[in-house]
Amino acid sequence: MPDRLPSAAYADRPLPIGEGQTISQPYVVALMTDILGLKHNHRVLEIGTGSGYQAAVLGELANQVYTIEIKKKLYDRSIKILEMLGYDNIHSRHGDGYFGWPEAAPFDAIMITAAIDHIPPPLLKQLKDGGRLALPLGNPFSYQNLVLVTKQGEDLRVKQITGVLFVPMTGYALNKSSP
């Protein structure tokens, strides 16, 4: 939590963390984590490290967590916090999460913590058969639906969970510039 917001630390609402980003409401963090159905032997990819809070939650439940943050200041801050807390099963990278972490794939679960209007094909390729992807899907500048995508071979099962409001995914997802 930013030092200026200690009284809001236990509020069930999103809070600003700098760089135009927010930490998700604790209820939404719990819901997104729950729908992934994580097991202790799972490998998870998180897109949007932010403060590191969601990565830490995932790190308590899964064997290995790979997390990518596009905002350099947030990346630098979150890796220091996660290292200080002793999370040796969380691997961090600064970069555009749209393209995932191919050399660490395949993943049992993937979580996108920023709004996007489509399911990124590179992430689907990195998801194991039977794997689950949770993301806020819809207009990045309006409300979205929290969606759970389950990969079954070449087929995708998409289940809408609830309405949400997330900050937009930046980088390639927002600009659609060449990779």
Active-site annotation, residues: 24
Q: What is the DSSP string of the chain?
A: --TT-GGGTT-SS-EEEETTEEEPPHHHHHHHHHHTT--TT-EEEEE--TTSHHHHHHHHHSSEEEEEESSHHHHHHHHHHHHHTT-TTEEEEES-GGG--GGG--EEEEEE-SBBSS--HHHHHTEEEEEEEEEEES-TTS-EEEEEEEEETTEEEEEEEEEE--PBP-THHHH----
